[in-house]
A = this chain, B = another copy of it.
Amino acid sequence: MDVVDLSHTFTQFAETWSPKVVARLNDYEIKVVKLDGEFVWHDHPDTDELFLVLAGSLTIALRDGDVTLGPGQLYVVPRGVEHCPITDGLVHAVLVEPAGVVNTGSAGGPLTATYDDSLARP
């Protein structure tokens, strides 16, 4: 595995709501994702999910209150907790979660992203 330059990875794709695996840690994956606008309410019944914002402002709407993250701030959404990412403009974020987690969780729908590890070195 090689060094991952997070800023560089964001120059390698344009699409939003489509996480890209950039590194692996045991059976976990480190992903980068561009977010813009409002996602869908969903949860991940079997896992926590870490959001780390590198650029922009991300609000994670939760049923009992919102959390807003700026650059250098992270939040872990507990397993089974419904959440909806909402941004005011473009956000660059890092996700950490077990391999195989789907972005829309149990909600599914048209924003469900295809698994993409094309940016990860073998």
Contact = CB atoms under 8 A, between A and B. Distances in A.
B5 A96 contact: no
- Copy number of this protein in the oligomer? 2
A50 B25 contact: yes
A48 B76 CA distance: 21
Contact of A26 (B1, B5, B6, B47): B47
A74 B3 contact: yes
Interface in A4-32: 4-7, 23-26, 28, 30
Interface in A82-109: 96-98
A79 B3 CA distance: 16
Nearest to A60: B3
A76 B7 contact: no
B76 A25 contact: yes
A18 to B, nearest CB: 20
B50 A3 contact: no
Given A50-B30, A96-B96, A75 B1 contact: yes
Nearest to A26: B48
B50 A5 contact: no
Interface of A: 1-7, 23-26, 28, 30, 47-50, 54, 67-69, 72-76, 78-79, 96-98
